[in-house]
Amino acid sequence: MSSKSVNVKSYWLVWAALIILLLLTWGVAEFDLGILNPVVALVIAFIKMSLVILFFMHVKYNSPLTRVFAAAGFVWFLIMVTLTMSDYLSRGLVRPTNKAISFWQYGPPQIPPGDYPGGVNPSGLQQQPAVGKQQTGK
């Protein structure tokens, strides 16, 4: 397998570009761009990643098969991020219907404050008397 010889000047230029992009990332993080902060940070990160892969990993100078495998790695990465984010973002949308199963999430059932209609406690639990109320013996 023969590969093109890369001169040292191109390495230094890519390194300088990475340093400039690093400083740009820091500079953008100092400003409040609202919802665009993560978008700008990801674009800069993508450019830095591309420089490292193309030049330092020699994908630019190798055969097209190497580029295919590098692209396949990105596709697989996007699949995994998509599946992870779809799981994470949908967790608040689905709630269990049987809350007795999910005590770990909701805690034990709580008795609401105040009297029950008709004096009947539907849960069968004893209600604690409120502080400050006097009990009459009637």
For tokens 């709630």, what's the residue? Answer: 95
| Helices 8-30 & 36-51 angle (0-180, nearest 10) | 170
In this prediction, residue 100 carries a pLDDT of 52
> What pTM does this model have?
0.56
CA-to-CA distance for 15 and 101, rounded, in angstroms? 56
Residue 58: pLDDT above 80? Answer: yes
Q: Share the mean pLDDT of the chain.
A: 79
Q: DSSP letters along 28-39, please?
A: HHHS--TTHHHH
Model confidence at 76, pLDDT cuts 50, 70, 90, reads very high
**Mean pLDDT of the 67-89 span:** 91
More reliable by pLDDT, 135 or 27: 27
CB burial class (10 A; 0-12, 13-18, 19+) of residue 24? middle
Least confident of 7-16, 62-71, 72-81, 92-101: 92-101
Type of residue found at 112? P
More reliable by pLDDT, 36 or 4: 36
**Mean pLDDT of the 53-71 span:** 90
Residue 26: pLDDT above 90? Answer: yes
In this prediction, residue 104 carries a pLDDT of 60
In this prediction, residue 35 carries a pLDDT of 87
Token pair for 96: 């269990």
Type of residue found at 110? Q
In this prediction, residue 47 carries a pLDDT of 94
Residues 111, 125: contact at Cβ < 8 Å? Answer: yes
